[in-house]
Chains A and B, each alone.
Chain A
Amino acid sequence: MSTAMGNPTAGASPGASPGASLAGDPYAPQQDTVAGPVFTVTGQDWDAVVAGAAEAEDERVVVNMGPQHPSTHGVLRLILELDGETVTEARCGIGYLHTGIEKNMEFRTWTQGTTFCTRMDYLAPFSYEAAYCQAVERLLDIEGDIPQRAQDMRVLLLELNRISSHLVAIATGGMEIGALTVMTIGFRERELVLDLFELITGLRMNHAFIRPGGVAQDMPPGALEQIREFIKLMKKRLPEYAAFCNANPIFKGRLVGVGHLDLAGCLALGTTGPALRSTGYPWDLRRTQPYWGYDTYDFDVVTWDSCDAYGRFRIRLEEMWQSLRIVEQCADRLGNSEGDPVIVADKKIAWPAQLAVGSDGMGNSLDHIRHIMGESMEALIHHFKLVTEGFRVPPGQAYAAVESPRGELACHAVSDGGTKPFRAHFRDPSFVNLQATSILSEGGMVADVIVAIASIDPVMGGVDR
């Protein structure tokens, strides 16, 4: 007979099943099921659990970890089968954050789609907008028409986003093993990136800034100076992470050799991103299948050869340096292209106006309103058609992939020639990488499960979509 703590089949509230014999603490009940006694653990009741486990004939314990919010990864449920402190089986339960974003996108215009997909992975929203827009642009056959300034702005935002996402990965990964200072300084620096996002796009997240055809707005005045100041500051602050962690014996003790996944395992499981590069294989879509001029930037693909959580940490740390290099080059290019267009010239696709925040707090463009309301009936009709009906995308399908902070992120967009996506499916790197949970955790200690999962940095908003 086995001892089960948290019944894997009964979900989060085993105490609610009818006929359960509740013993003792009403908030931490114990019940007997066919699978053995089930304990609901809420803290300060470990004695009962230990006593119950001691009564069992073997040491096999099934622990239902979650569904809860392990730092900022989102709501994840882990079902662990333990033999003593060794994990013999590990499975993931996902879907707690499923909101039907892909289904919703099928009921909005192609332009509105970017508003939805940016909400999938809240730590790397620009990557989602980028993959989606690249797929739509391929279907429209306008990939070659995207203005250079728009491409540079996209690269700038993607790389700033990579820095902020890696900061959170390192910060929460540190927090999960008790390195709280890494967490506080990680979020401190991330705030600087979010300030830049707010300056450029108007929002800290949910930007919907990268649009099919270009970007929504030109750079605001003063943005380049702020970016240069940020680069200067980050060059001072990034070494702090290395000083805190790289050679820290406790940190290394928790990370080195944990969550081993070699190249063959990565390919079989489709694992990409830092986990793949930690096997020493320099696969980075920015280099191997470059988009938006990534091949013209000077940066290195970072690899490590240890296949473990420590290697993934070091890769993220170094990738932030590389992203800073790219941001620096973007800032120079944007400084030289002031005034260039940031969206395609095709008026059938490009949004009609560059909006500015008016006195009522709404985005507006007085020049454009004067034009459509006072000067040109055709312009008004055109504006109305484009904004309410949207543009049509020729039938077909496209699969566009970008290198997100977590690996290959792709959008499979299908059009039936209408004004709305017929289907937009996202190949989410967190979703795929999370499949490696079993191979990363099984055979290891239960304390290493958290480190192993943190090392692939899953974000459940993207996993569940």
Chain B
Amino acid sequence: MTDPDARTDDDKLRAGSRGEAAGTAKQEPKVGSTPQGAERDLGVQEEMPENTVVPAGADSLEVIAVREGMFGVQGSGDTSGYGGLRRPVVMPGASPRPYGGWFDEVADRLADGLGADAQAAVEKVVVHRGEMTIHLRREHLVTTAQHLRDDAGLRFEVCSSVSGVHYPEDTGRELHAAYHLLSMTHNRRIRLEVSVPDSDPHIPSVVAVYPTADWHEREAFDFFGIVFDGHPSLTRILMPDDWPGHPQRKDYPLGGIPVEYKGATIPPPDTRRTYG
């Protein structure tokens, strides 16, 4: 995915994270269709029918899925009266300036350092629960990481961790890689996040910038199938070399057998009722 604006109707559930809806801040919790352009913000109305509860707070919504019902029962088996309830799963959206604290300093310094590329590199910045996440486009990941490491005012000299996350319903951005950077010099942490589609799961490797990412990227490849281009030896690390599939993807079954305990049979965890 090179240009997020080129995405098609597949993404219409994603609400104005590109900033076009940034003017509609502070939505109150509301049920059903409401005036003042709420439907426009949430994509199209048929995707968000009545009974949809929209959470409050974010000025731009990052809908990654829609949850139906309430008690984990689907279809006519649900006699709870909540069967028609639809709730979007909304991740924290892009944050408006000022971010607060040293977050602005880091964002400014990074924008200055990247120069003309800054607009293209940074997709959005999310500040949530006191943590800063910079969403990057993948083709700019390595140069941005290099800059974050080498600029004396940023100096994120340690890459603590790389973790993959699979959002199967986030169409076109199913696979995310989160890089947790630590600056021991300034005692700060930030997170870089890169999203790629399942059909093209390639992210450039940051091993040249952060050698410690070697095993982390192998782990993300092993468990999610994210291909880190330029990695010196991208092989499986925890699973056997000939293992089929990538076990921590959401479409990979957990497995398990029913267990009998004190006369009752307990089904395997992935077939138990879930409450969504």
Contact = CB atoms under 8 A, between A and B. Distances in A.
A140 to B, nearest CB: 9
Interface in A333-363: none
Contact of B130 (A108, A138, A389, A432): A138
B215 A289 contact: no
Interface in B174-224: 178, 180, 182, 184, 187, 189, 191, 210-212, 214-216, 219
B68 interface: no
Contact of A395 (B91, B161, B163): B91
A38 to B, nearest CB: 18
The bracket for how many chain A residues form the interface is: 35 or more
Contacts of B131: 138, 397-399
A445 interface: no
> A108, A267, A425, A434 — which one has the most chain B CB atoms within 10 A of its CB?
A425
A268 to B, nearest CB: 5
B165 interface: yes
A49 interface: no
Contacts of B89: 395, 416-417
Given A95-B240, A396-B129, A418 B276 contact: yes
A423 interface: yes
Given A398-B129, A398-B131, A412-B180, A108 B269 contact: yes
A410 B178 CA distance: 13
B193 to A, nearest CB: 9
A419 to B, nearest CB: 5
A178 interface: no
B239 A390 contact: no
A94 B238 contact: yes
Interface in A413-440: 414, 416-420, 422-423, 425, 427, 431-432, 434-435
Interface string B81-117: 0000001011110000000000000000000000000
Contact of B161 (A107, A397, A410): A410
Nearest to A108: B269
B50 interface: no
Contacts of A271: 212
B65 interface: yes
A141 interface: yes
Given A268-B211, A270-B160, A435-B214, A396 B180 contact: no
Contacts, number: 125
Interface string B153-167: 000011111011110
A65 interface: no
A10 to B, nearest CB: 11
Given A104-B269, A107-B270, A427-B180, A396 B91 contact: yes
A270 B238 contact: no
Contacts of A423: 163, 165-166, 248
Contacts of A268: 210-212
A423 B161 CA distance: 14
Given A390-B275, A418-B275, A396 B128 contact: yes
A304 interface: no
A128 to B, nearest CB: 14
B142 to A, nearest CB: 16
Contacts of B187: 288-289
B160 A427 contact: yes
> B216, B238, B254, B276 — which one has the most chain A CB atoms within 10 A of its CB?
B238
A270 B254 contact: no
Contacts of B240: 95
A435 B238 contact: no
Contacts of B60: none
Nearest to B233: A91
A361 B81 CA distance: 41
Contacts of A420: 274
A141 B184 CA distance: 25
Interface in A197-249: none
A269 B275 contact: no
Contacts of A95: 236-240
Contacts of A288: 184, 187
19 contacts: A103-B247, A104-B269, A139-B129, A270-B158, A271-B212, A281-B184, A288-B187, A397-B165, A399-B189, A410-B161, A412-B161, A418-B67, A418-B274, A419-B275, A423-B165, A425-B161, A427-B161, A427-B180, A432-B215
Given A427-B160, A432-B161, 20 more contacts: A95-B239, A100-B247, A107-B270, A267-B157, A270-B160, A270-B210, A283-B184, A397-B131, A397-B165, A397-B191, A399-B131, A401-B160, A412-B163, A416-B91, A418-B275, A419-B275, A425-B164, A427-B161, A434-B215, A465-B238
Closest 6 A/B residue pairs (Cβ): A270-B212, A427-B161, A425-B163, A95-B238, A107-B269, A98-B238
